[in-house]
Chains A and B, each alone.
Chain A
Amino acid sequence: MTTVLFFVFAAAALGGALGVVLSRNPVHSALWLVQTLLSVAVFFLLQDAELVAAVQVIVYAGAIVVLFIFVIMLLGVDRHESLEDPVKVQRPAAIALGALVLAEIVFLAGHEWATGARTARGAPIEGGTGAFADYNNIERVAHVMFIDYMWAFQITAGLLVVAVVGAIVLARRSGERPEGQEPGTPAPERAGPESGSGQRPDDAAVEEPVGEGAT
């Protein structure tokens, strides 16, 4: 059963990967990528790594691919993409490095141990050690996240708030006053060629108009 699943999804993962590279349409590439990522999630499940599988689906297949598609749509789907490499050495270098990584993986897979962890050929580790012996892997992650590192995990929430506020502060068009003032009607002191970009008159002389044109 496991073997059958593995080969089915291995084929799906490889097919998806080829699809990503060979599709002419970037949206198709992104969809092929979803297939590959989901297949890899199945591999994680086969390895008893349920949490990583879930994260793979939620973060990669969910968020990151959506982000890809978002960017593609933003840049315009129908724009013809030039497949010419601006840097000529890039392609042969990529092939050489890819071959090197493949050789490395094949070499390491032939050994029992690599980097201190067991490889595909090593004996499976039963249970685990110490206090975590009878925890499954989600419980282990929960233990680390909600006990050992709970404080760090909690203050990460502060980081998210900062990210939202900071992004809004920096992304808002400079000088825009959302309240009390109609957008598009420059205040009297802002009238003039620079109106709307929020430049003070004394700055206009020494600085390029920024902010408005950047978006």
Chain B
Amino acid sequence: MIGGGIDTGTRIVGPDVDFLAIGPVLALAVAALVVILVRAILRKRGPVNQISLGVGLAGVAAAGVLLGIQWNEVRDDGTITTIAGAVRLDTFGVFLGVVVLAATAMSLFLAASYLEREELEAPEYYALMLLSAAGMLTMTTANDLIVVFVALELLSIPLYVLAAFDRRRLSSQESGIKYFVLGAFSSAVFLYGIALTYGATGTTSLTGIADFLSANTLFEQGTLLAGLALLLVGLGFKVAAVPFHMWTPDVYQGAPTPVTAFMSSATKAAGFAALLRLLGVAFPLYRTDWRPAILGLAVLSLAVGSIAAVIQTDVKRILAYSSIAHAGYILIGLQVDTARGRQASLFYLLVYAFMTVGAFAVITVATRKGDDKHSLDDYRGLALRRPVVGGLLGFFVLAQAGVPLTGGFVVKLEIFSSAVDAGEYGLAIVGVLAAVVAAFIYLRIAVALFTSPGGEAADASEDRPVDRWTAAVLAVTTAAVLFAGILPGAWLTFAKDATFL
């Protein structure tokens, strides 16, 4: 030891670290750093983009392999808690890690061609997206409110930058600044919630909070309940639940479309990971207090998400509102607070990731130059002019509406039947009504796709060819959504194995 005359001793001994548990996070972070290094060292533009995409995909693949090993490990040997209780690796965390990683991989694919044609800086984009995904994976296994908070920042801050990435478009800048201001505000609210919860329980560990609450009875509930409420606000913002959804349409519309795909799928999964863990691990004893709050969030999200979508005319905004409504369905599964409900929510998150990435994948190639012509009129007659592209958009839109034989139908069915199982008939009815209202707007998109534009004839020469990266994403998402709709058994088992908290 260097101590010399000072008594340093050896009293500070670092905690045990299970590197398997944090392996996927490290893989993504290392990939991001390598991308930055490559960008700094190599000068030629073309190879840099190729190499950084390759490094990024390699990182995602490595993380995927590690997640597979983790899954077998924790399913057979049970939960792993490591790094002084800050990381809790269980099947639940691995499952949502898989959702996040799948969404990340597909978003990287989408970005590959998008960045090239919009002439944007590719390596920085990949690095930021990988770091954001690392934050999301941290979030899915976080067992401490401080870790949840840092992970929340690590996943959000790259997204603020990515939303504003296409700085030549004013709407992208607006999207970034709006997301940043509101996101920073919601982070502050979340942090205040942590402070109050810590004040009431004396710990920031999720399992520690649960232990404290089961061993002690609080005479004054005010501080803890206020803390819990603020935590719900912070996470409600991230998953875009009403009334914390105001940013969603503008940000989704303005952000580059691959970023929107990433935000709507991966961020939602990470946000729900924290929400499920918070409610299920830390506050199971307070279920009578938080269930009404979640009920309110779910009903409002369903109502606003479905009804407000009807008056929109921009396809990206419609999908933004529909993502709000989807958050409402997922919240139903949380609200019923049964194993079945959680299973349905997890299943929904998995399938929704494919549905929404698929829809946004079509959007990246459907319109002509730029990324700001997404009104319904621009899509009119798309399926007549380009049957495959238009047909696929119609498919994903109908899947989101919940048409049978698609994954969207099965997930909604699961959510509703879990609500009925738990005796929450009212909630199930609200959900069905919202689905009916939302079906109207989805059908409106589908009809627009198949009606002739009339007036000026569309110039087919300006149409963008579907490149192979996007084609791969479309193939995967279509297969996944169909597979989930026709043979949901395997997916349901996967989700069921992940519902132990």
Q: Is A202 in contact with B14, judged by CB distance below 8 angstroms? A: no
**Interfacial chain B residues near A174, Cβ < 8 Å:** 167-168
Does B364 make an interface contact (CB < 8 A)? no
Bitwise, A32-53 to B at CB < 8 A (1) or not (0) is 0000000000000000000000
In angstroms, Cα B127 to Cα A172, docked, is: 16
Q: Is A169 in contact with B84, judged by CB distance below 8 angstroms? A: no
Q: Is A151 in contact with B83, judged by CB distance below 8 angstroms? A: yes
In angstroms, Cα B36 to Cα A163, docked, is: 13
Our pick among B15, B119, B147, B157 for the contact of A162 (Cβ within 8 Å) is B157
Q: Is A143 in contact with B150, judged by CB distance below 8 angstroms? A: no
**Interfacial chain B residues near A149, Cβ < 8 Å:** 84, 86, 144, 146-147
Does A64 make an interface contact (CB < 8 A)? no
A166-B157, A166-B160 in contact; A151/B32 too (CB < 8 A)? no
A161-B32, A161-B36, A162-B128 in contact; A146/B12 too (CB < 8 A)? yes
Q: Is B128 in contact with A166, judged by CB distance below 8 angstroms? A: yes
A149-B146, A166-B157, A179-B43 in contact; A142/B170 too (CB < 8 A)? no
**Interfacial chain B residues near A76, Cβ < 8 Å:** none
Q: Is B161 in contact with A170, judged by CB distance below 8 angstroms? A: yes
**Interfacial chain B residues near A211, Cβ < 8 Å:** 167-168
Our pick among A148, A155, A207 for the contact of B151 (Cβ within 8 Å) is A155
In angstroms, Cα B164 to Cα A142, docked, is: 38
Q: Is B147 in contact with A159, judged by CB distance below 8 angstroms? A: no
**Interfacial chain B residues near A28, Cβ < 8 Å:** none
Q: Is A165 in contact with B144, judged by CB distance below 8 angstroms? A: no
**Interfacial chain A residues near B161, Cβ < 8 Å:** 162, 165-166, 169-170
Bitwise, A155-180 to B at CB < 8 A (1) or not (0) is 11011011101101110101101011
A147-B84, A165-B124, A165-B127 in contact; A155/B147 too (CB < 8 A)? yes
Our pick among B29, B119, B170 for the contact of A158 (Cβ within 8 Å) is B29
Q: Is B121 in contact with A169, judged by CB distance below 8 angstroms? A: yes
Does A139 make an interface contact (CB < 8 A)? yes
Taking the nearest CB of chain A, how far is it from the CB of B356, in angstroms?
A: 24
Q: Is A155 in contact with B168, judged by CB distance below 8 angstroms? A: no
Q: Is A162 in contact with B83, judged by CB distance below 8 angstroms? A: no
Give residues 156-215 of A contacting B (CB, 8 Å): 156, 158-159, 161-163, 165-166, 168-170, 172, 174-175, 177, 179-180, 198-200, 202-203, 207-208, 210-211
Does B158 make an interface contact (CB < 8 A)? yes
In angstroms, Cα B167 to Cα A88, docked, is: 39
**Interfacial chain A residues near B167, Cβ < 8 Å:** 170, 174, 210-211
User: Looking across the interface, which residue of chain A has its beta carbon closest to that of B157?
Assistant: A162
Give residues 28-61 of B contacting A (CB, 8 Å): 29, 32-33, 36, 43-45, 48
A163-B157, A165-B124, A203-B168 in contact; A146/B131 too (CB < 8 A)? no
User: Looking across the interface, which residue of chain A has its beta carbon closest to that of B369?
Assistant: A202
Does B304 make an interface contact (CB < 8 A)? no
Does B370 make an interface contact (CB < 8 A)? yes
In angstroms, Cα B147 to Cα A150, docked, is: 9
User: Looking across the interface, which residue of chain B has its beta carbon closest to that of A148?
Assistant: B84
Our pick among A151, A175, A203 for the contact of B147 (Cβ within 8 Å) is A151
Does A135 make an interface contact (CB < 8 A)? yes
**Interfacial chain B residues near A93, Cβ < 8 Å:** none
Our pick among B44, B83, B370 for the contact of A203 (Cβ within 8 Å) is B370
Give residues 97-136 of A contacting B (CB, 8 Å): 135
In angstroms, Cα B9 to Cα A143, docked, is: 13
Does B138 make an interface contact (CB < 8 A)? yes
Q: Is A161 in contact with B33, judged by CB distance below 8 angstroms? A: yes
In angstroms, Cα B12 to Cα A139, docked, is: 8
In angstroms, Cα B162 to Cα A170, docked, is: 9
Q: Is B150 in contact with A207, judged by CB distance below 8 angstroms? A: no
**Interfacial chain A residues near B134, Cβ < 8 Å:** 155, 158
Does A94 make an interface contact (CB < 8 A)? no
In angstroms, Cα B165 to Cα A180, docked, is: 21
**Interfacial chain A residues near B86, Cβ < 8 Å:** 149-152
Does B378 make an interface contact (CB < 8 A)? no
User: Looking across the interface, which residue of chain A has its beta carbon closest to that of B32?
Assistant: A161
A142-B12, A150-B83 in contact; A165/B170 too (CB < 8 A)? no
Taking the nearest CB of chain B, how far is it from the CB of A3, in angstroms?
A: 28
**Interfacial chain A residues near B29, Cβ < 8 Å:** 158
A159-B153, A162-B131, A170-B164 in contact; A147/B169 too (CB < 8 A)? no
The 4 closest A-B pairs by CB, nearest first: A151-B86, A166-B161, A151-B83, A152-B146
Chain A residues within CB distance 8 Å of chain B = 135, 139, 142-143, 146-152, 155-156, 158-159, 161-163, 165-166, 168-170, 172, 174-175, 177, 179-180, 198-200, 202-203, 207-208, 210-211
23 residue pairs A–B, Cβ–Cβ below 8 Å: A146-B12, A146-B14, A147-B14, A149-B144, A149-B146, A150-B84, A151-B147, A152-B147, A155-B134, A155-B150, A159-B150, A159-B157, A161-B127, A162-B128, A162-B154, A162-B158, A162-B161, A165-B124, A166-B160, A168-B124, A180-B45, A203-B168, A208-B170
Additional A-B contact list (16), CB under 8 Å, known A155-B150, A210-B173: A143-B12, A147-B13, A148-B84, A149-B146, A150-B84, A155-B138, A155-B147, A155-B154, A166-B161, A169-B121, A169-B165, A172-B121, A199-B168, A203-B169, A210-B170, A211-B168
